[in-house]
Amino acid sequence: MQKTDTRKKAYALVKRVLYNIKEIERLVEEAREDTHGDHTGGSSGHAFVSDPTANAAIRAADELHAVRLSDGFVVYRPETWIRVIKKVYNDCPAFERDVMKTYFDGYGAEETGKMYYLSDKMVYYNRNEFLSFAVAAACQAGLVYVIDLPRWCKS
């Protein structure tokens, strides 16, 4: 079966998120800790009042819209991505999880294979299985689409 452009884009996006998940987590954490310029109130003739507790509650309740990676790429719904990727890793057997974390930390197939006594072919096989599962999870979470649906199918 030949991959459509939509499916290729979904796989490419999931791969990019997997390679950058630590940076995404760090950016989300930094955004959550940032308290500059927060205020509450200010309508109906009332003054702006700094309320750190209320501001923290508002930030905790609202999901971040996006984060910009160091290479300039924008990841939308980063907190949903983090939850999906954590779930995918947690649902893998421990050995495969360790292999994939090493691979997506940037070690590549050859180096990862040497660390875990696997052939490059086996690392790539595991990566493809893992990536398929991650794309399915991201699709289920509404983060990516793998086919183009007609307008009448979309809700």
116-147: per-residue pLDDT in tens? 999 999 999 999 999 999 999 999 999 999 98
Q: What are the pLDDT digits (tens) for 103-113?
A: 999 999 999 99
What integer pLDDT is reported at residue 34 of this predicted model? Answer: 77
Other beta carbons less than 10 A from residue 63's beta carbon? 10
Q: Mean pLDDT throughout 92-103?
A: 97
pLDDT for 149: 76
pLDDT at residue 58 in the model = 63
What are the tens digits of pLDDT across the range 32-84? 887 555 545 445 555 555 666 666 666 666 889 999 999 999 999 999 999 99
pLDDT given at position 69 = 97
- Residue 76 CA from chain centroid, whole number: 9
Contact 146, 6 (CB under 8 A): yes
Would the pTM count as exceeding 0.95? Answer: no
- Are the C-beta atoms of residues 109 and 103 closer than 8 Å to each other? yes
